[in-house]
Amino acid sequence: MGRLEEMYRHSLEEPEAFWAAAAAAIEWDEPWQQVIDDSRAPLYRWFAGGRMNTCYNALDRHVERGRADQPALIYDSPVTDTVAALTYRELRDAVALFAGALAA
């Protein structure tokens, strides 16, 4: 069995363990108390009680860990022949600038 099939099987057989392991790869401001809260099924709550900063996980932590000058976003349009790239640092700074404008 290949790795993808093994992961898929694990996700079906032990969903809480599978998703808890996946979530451990990101930074949490507050840890969750429950991976899947099914008390109001079919309206499930994922990582109930947990709190995280999506922007930090997507950008800031990569800058902090030495990836600041690596490409974070690459745009390559076959329609316009436009190719552009932003590093983690450039994208983080652009997001911060835009967030500041929204907050003003």
pLDDT tens per residue across span 24-64: 999 999 999 999 999 999 999 999 999 999 999 999 999 99
Which sequence spans correspond to the domains of the chain?
3-48, 54-103
Please provide the DSSP assignment of the chain as one string. --HHHHHHHHHHH-HHHHHHHHHTTS--SB--SEEEE-TTTTS-EEEET-B--HHIIIIIHHIIIIITTSEEEEEEETTTTEEEEEEHHHHHHHHHHHHHHHH-
Model confidence at 1: pLDDT above 90:
no
What is the mean predicted confidence (pLDDT) over 15-28? 96
What is the mean predicted confidence (pLDDT) over 76-101? 97
Q: What is the pLDDT of residue 88?
A: 98
